[in-house]
């Protein structure tokens, strides 16, 4: 079944949960799509997971676009969402629109994601026909402003700020919102309060959907967050395979 933004809303209404993964290339997009992953996020986590940067801050739109094109062409059914990188949408609604149009026209992705309560930008993109996914709680593009990788919304004030941001993002027209590194109780409360689906990462099991960075999920990255469950040991398997290959070639 082809997944569209409306499908996710319907799944929420029907009480059905859905799984999402990041993807940055054509092969993993095909594999995850065929396995029934509902949303493939071309995350700006490509900055660290693929390009070897320390965090998501340095990656540019020009660098994101080929990843988006590769994933969009590999996915038949999954909804493919392109992350708008840091600095590509914050300045104004005009900047967000220019970035959003490039993201859609040059990749074939069906939606974009942006971080924080940028409601003017979300509303302008939605008005222009570009579906938007929000992202609140720990927002990796603000890692320096947030003083590192920390759970957000632990106290009453912080929790109510995140709930208000989610309501504003929904009001602005977003079709879903990622909740990253917030307490499970807060994620469940937000999920009950919103009509649009929530997608959790390090936010407990009460969200409508879950997302993992694929290189963490597959055990490829050595710097995975502790909340991220490993479903295989790809790094170990690849190392063994490469070592066997080296040995076989050396022994003719
Ligand atoms: O870029 C990314 O991988 C993300 C996920 C953490 C949701 O934004």
Closest of 93, 88, 103, 180 to residue 138, by C-alpha: 180
Q: What is the pLDDT of residue 109?
A: 98
Residues 182/186/190/191 CA torsion (nearest 10 deg): 90
Catalytic residue status for 180: yes
Whether 152 lines ligand 1, by a CB cut-off of 6 Å, is no
Whether 133 lines ligand 1, by a CB cut-off of 6 Å, is no
DSSP state of 198: E
| Whole-number Å distance between alpha carbons of 33 and 56 | 25
Q: Which tokens go with 12? A: 């929420």
List of the chain residues with pLDDT < 70: none
Whether 44 lines ligand 1, by a CB cut-off of 6 Å, is yes
Kind of pairing between the strands at 209-212 and 198-201: parallel
Neighbours of 96 (CB within 10 A): 26
Position in ligand 1 atom list of the atom nearest CA 211: 7
Q: Which tokens go with 11? A: 């799944």
Whether 132 lines ligand 1, by a CB cut-off of 6 Å, is no
Using alpha carbons only, how large is the chain's radius of gyration in Å? 18
Q: Which residues pair with 137 in a beta bridge?
A: 180
Ligand 1 centre from 249 Cα, in Å?
39
Q: What sign does the dihedral 151-155-158-162 (CA atoms) show? A: positive
Q: What is the pLDDT of residue 161?
A: 98
Closest of 40, 32, 30 to residue 209, by C-alpha: 40
Q: What is the pLDDT of residue 43?
A: 98
Per-residue model confidence as pLDDT tens digits over 154-173: 999 999 999 999 999 999 99
Name the one residue in this structure whose structure tokens are 């065929």: 34
Name the active-site residue from 94, 127, 165, 180: 180
Q: What is the pLDDT of residue 179?
A: 98
Nearest CA to ligand 1 atom 8: 43
Per-residue model confidence as pLDDT tens digits over 80-107: 999 999 999 999 999 999 999 999 999 9
């Amino acid at each position: 079944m082809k997944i569209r933004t409306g499908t996710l809303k319907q799944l929420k209404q029907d009480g059905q949960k859905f799984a999402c993964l990041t993807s940055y290339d054509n092969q993993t997009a095909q594999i995850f799509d065929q396995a029934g992953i509902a949303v493939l996020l071309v995350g700006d986590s490509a900055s660290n997971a693929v390009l070897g940067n320390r965090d998501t801050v340095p990656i540019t739109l020009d660098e994101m676009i080929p990843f988006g094109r590769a994933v969009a062409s590999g996915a038949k059914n999954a909804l493919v969402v392109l992350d708008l990188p840091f600095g590509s949408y914050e300045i104004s609604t005009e900047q967000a629109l220019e970035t959003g149009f490039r993201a859609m026209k040059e990749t074939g992705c069906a939606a974009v994601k942006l971080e924080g309560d940028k409601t003017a930008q979300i509303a302008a993109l939605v008005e222009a026909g570009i579906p938007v996914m929000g992202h609140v709680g720990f927002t990796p593009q603000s890692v320096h402003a947030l003083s590192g990788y920390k759970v957000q919304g632990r106290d009453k004030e912080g929790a109510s700020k995140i709930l208000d941001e989610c309501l504003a993002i929904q009001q602005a027209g977003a079709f879903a919102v990622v909740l990253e590194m917030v307490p499970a109780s807060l994620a469940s409360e937000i999920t009950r309060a919103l009509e649009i689906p929530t997608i959790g990462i390090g936010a407990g099991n009460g969200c409508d959907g879950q997302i993992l960075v694929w290189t963490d999920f597959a055990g490829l990255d050595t710097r995975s967050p502790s909340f991220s469950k490993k479903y295989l040991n790809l790094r170990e398997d690849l190392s063994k395979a490469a070592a066997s290959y080296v040995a076989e070639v050396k022994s003719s």
